[in-house]
Amino acid sequence: MARLRSLLHRACSLLLLLAVGAQALKFDIQAGSGHDKHSRRCVRNFVSKDMLVVVTAIVDGFKGDGMQLNMHISDATGNEYGKPKDIAGEQRTVFTSHADAPFDVCFENVLTGSRYVEHPYRHIELDIDIGADAKDWSAIQATEKLKPVETELRRIEEMVAEIVNEMDYLRTREQTLRDTNESTNNRVKWFGFGTTFLLIGLWAWQIMYLRAYFRSSSPSDLPGRDLEVGELQGASFKIEPLRRVGEDPATMRARLLYQSRKRGTLESDLLLSTFASTRLASMTPAQLTEYDLFLDENDWDIYYWATQDEPSGTLSQTQQTQPPSGEKKPGSVDTAAQQSPRPGEWAQTVGTFKPAYRPVPARWAGSEVLALLREHVESRRGSGRGGMGFMPALEEYKM
């Protein structure tokens, strides 16, 4: 470590020897009201705490020439080190810094108005010495009776010590900034995790809330209530059917024939197309109107209402099974009833325990069209009338 510090001192000494020929800062400042940007100029420099600073300003002109040049020295923390006014010639200000902060040397050139100024400018030569450069080494050499080489080596030693202290300060600042960055990164990470978990929880709550809302607000889920035309099981919306008015009987029969053949399911197509081919031509206007409303019902509901009777009951999920001896065993479940489909030629089941058949609603109780449709199904059973395996040929209805 000592060897490394020695090499560092030598390298810094070489750099300082190369920079000995630096010159002071020179600039001109225009006179003005003191509040505009042209009549005010500042020079900033950084200084460490408890450092000796010498600010030397050489200003041309003289007092009473119609311009007043003021100088103000202060640091970023609010400490003021000097505020001389109406300077001319050489002005030297010596102070010791109170904090690790940048300090500003500001000049303000103000027109006094006492006389006319032909060339309203002041030329300033500014020199700022900090630390070892601020000391009067000639006085130190005379006081301590040092040789010139010893004085120069001592000055270089102090400058190198200042550079080392500056590097230590920068390292401390870098460590502080690194700790701050790591702390900020950790906080941002946990904030991101928290936001993600919050969004996931909000998403799950919305899904559960919407499911509960649609389940509770769906009118079709009410027990003992018939679904209206255009309603779907478990849905909260309703699809209104299209009503047509002002049709003549031939046009109405042609449309009903087309709607009977194009239902969307093959079973309904075969059932209703054969029914329309047989019965549509002989229907009265009242029966045509009722058949038009009947076709607005769900296809599977029409098919079940026409082809099978309403089941007297459904198998229970806790139905008891009978052991081989013929006696019922309490607590047992009928495995065959769970796994096999329900009886019935056109039975459709969801799972094993929920029948697809929906009872005929009250609006079609005693319907003449439904009775004709059931009669049509009964007349087509077996092979005597050809069944309903094929659609009949299209018929044309004329006035």
Where do the structural domains in the chain lie, given as residue ranges? 2-134, 246-311+341-399
The pLDDT assigned to 295 comes to 92
pLDDT of residue 317: 36
Average pLDDT, the chain: 78
Residue 159 CA to residue 179 CA, distance in Å, equals 30
More confident residue, 26 or 342: 26
Domain 246-311+341-399 has CATH 1.10.150.250: yes
Burial of 39 (C-beta count, 10 Å sphere; 0-12/13-18/19+): buried
Cα–Cα distance measured from residue 106 to residue 104, given in angstroms and rounded to the nearest whole number: 6
What's residue 352's pLDDT?
A: 44
Residue corresponding to tokens 């209206």: 228
Is pLDDT at 243 greater than 80 in this prediction?
yes
The number of C-alpha atoms within 13 Å of 88 and in the hemisphere containing its C-beta is 11
Q: Which residue type, as a one-letter code, is found at position 152? A: E
Assess contact for 64 and 114: CB atoms under 8 A. yes
Q: Which residues contact 366 (CB under 8 A, 6 or more apart)?
A: none
User: Which 3-state string (H, E, C) describes 197-235?
Assistant: HHHHHHHHHHHHHHHHHHHHHCHHHCCCCCCCCCECCCC
In the numeric block, which tokens belong to residue 377?
């199904």
Question: Residue 65 has what pLDDT?
Answer: 82
Tokens of 346: 């056109």
The enclosing H or E element of 74 equals: strand 67-75
User: What pLDDT score was predicted for residue 322?
Assistant: 41
Q: Which of 180-184, 216-220, 327-331 has the lowest mean pLDDT?
A: 327-331
Q: In what order do the strands lie in the sheet with 40-47?
A: 40-47, 101-111, 67-75, 80-82
Residue bearing tokens 């459904």: 314
Q: Who wins on pLDDT, 224 or 50?
A: 50
Dist. CA 26–CA 329, nearest whole Å: 113
C-alpha–C-alpha distance, residues 247 and 292, integer Å: 12
pTM of the model: 0.41
Place of tokens 């010893």: 150
More confident residue, 147 or 191: 191
Q: What is the pLDDT of residues 244-298, one digit of tens each?
A: 888 888 899 999 999 999 988 898 999 999 999 989 989 999 999 999 999 998 8
For domain 2-134, give its CATH number from 2.60.120.680, 3.60.15.10, 3.40.50.2300, 2.102.10.10: 2.60.120.680
Sign of torsion over alpha carbons 336, 339, 340, 342: positive
Using DSSP, how many helices (H) and how many strands (E) does the chain show?
A: 9, 10
